[in-house]
Copies of this chain bind each other. A is one copy, B any other.
Amino acid sequence: MPLRMTNQRIIIFEELKKSRQHMTADELYGIVRKKMPKISLATVYRNLEVLSGTGVIAKLEVSGRQRHFDSDVAGHDHVTCVQCHKVENVLLEVIKEDCPSHGVMDGYIIKGRRLEFFGLCPQCQKKNRVMKGDKTMGCGCGCAKKELTDEQKKVLQAMADCVGPCAAKDIAAATGLDTKMVSGKIADLKKQGYVDSPERCKYGITAEGRTAMKG
């Protein structure tokens, strides 16, 4: 079963190597499409699978939603940013010795190991400082809050129109929405930091909420 080096396979490999990053199938698809617009996403997945099977690239399967692929197959570990989900390399010589990636442990035949750190990347740390000052919602590191639904916007608008903190039923009356639905929405918005509750059962819109409403 020879492995045929097709154009698409070559381009996928080259682009992954060129980027010097841990890419998802999707990101790579976006890049490869510039050179080969008709390529299929399935082809990208297939070839990443094939290439990682031969060992020329590494399949990371770092936890989180998407799988990442790495053209650097040498042994190194990873840091993931908990906020923007970027993945970067780290090299920890100390650990290598004490923590072998092959051998036997508790009856298991160990085939490999993965050491993964997670924390906040420098950009997201900076971004958090900026956000507290409410200068911008921009992130620069690929993470963004979800778009608000129409109902959520209505609720926020009603809250903004209110002078002081108001109850769920007031919002319901103002928007014409059902009271129960409104309180559900409020709970969601509170979780996202767009709404706060200065006193029990009374709610107000936050500065962040105002910004979100405009976007």
Residue numbers of A with Cβ under 8 A of B are: 60-64, 79, 81-82, 88, 90, 92, 94-95, 98-99, 105-122, 125
Query: Which of B81, B82, B98 is close to A98, meaning CB atoms less than 8 Å apart?
Result: B98
Q: When chains A and B are docked, how far (Å) is the Cα of A22 from the Cα of B115? A: 19
Please name all residues of chain B whose beta carbon is closer than 8 Å to the beta carbon of A90 when the two chains form the complex. 105-106
A109–B125 contact, CB under 8 A?
yes
Given A63-B61, A114-B116, A116-B116; A108-B122 close (CB under 8 Å) = yes
Given A61-B64, A114-B116, A115-B115; A121-B94 close (CB under 8 Å) = no
B122–A117 contact, CB under 8 A?
no
Q: When chains A and B are docked, how far (Å) is the Cα of A122 from the Cα of B98? A: 23
B119–A108 contact, CB under 8 A?
yes
Cross-chain pairs A/B with CB under 8 angstroms, 16 sampled: A63-B63, A79-B108, A79-B110, A81-B108, A88-B106, A90-B105, A90-B106, A95-B95, A95-B99, A98-B98, A108-B121, A110-B119, A111-B120, A114-B116, A114-B118, A116-B116
- Output the least CB separation between A163 and chain B (Å): 26
Given A95-B95, A95-B98, A114-B115; A120-B109 close (CB under 8 Å) = yes
Please name all residues of chain B whose beta carbon is closer than 8 Å to the beta carbon of A82 when the two chains form the complex. 111
B106–A110 contact, CB under 8 A?
no
A109–B119 contact, CB under 8 A?
yes
Q: When chains A and B are docked, how far (Å) is the Cα of A62 from the Cα of B120? A: 19
Please name all residues of chain B whose beta carbon is closer than 8 Å to the beta carbon of A114 when the two chains form the complex. 63, 114-118
Please name all residues of chain B whose beta carbon is closer than 8 Å to the beta carbon of A115 when the two chains form the complex. 99, 113-116
Please name all residues of chain B whose beta carbon is closer than 8 Å to the beta carbon of A99 when the two chains form the complex. 92, 94-95, 99, 115
B119–A111 contact, CB under 8 A?
yes
Please name all residues of chain B whose beta carbon is closer than 8 Å to the beta carbon of A121 when the two chains form the complex. 107-108
Given A63-B61, A114-B116; A122-B105 close (CB under 8 Å) = no
Please name all residues of chain B whose beta carbon is closer than 8 Å to the beta carbon of A120 when the two chains form the complex. 108-109, 111
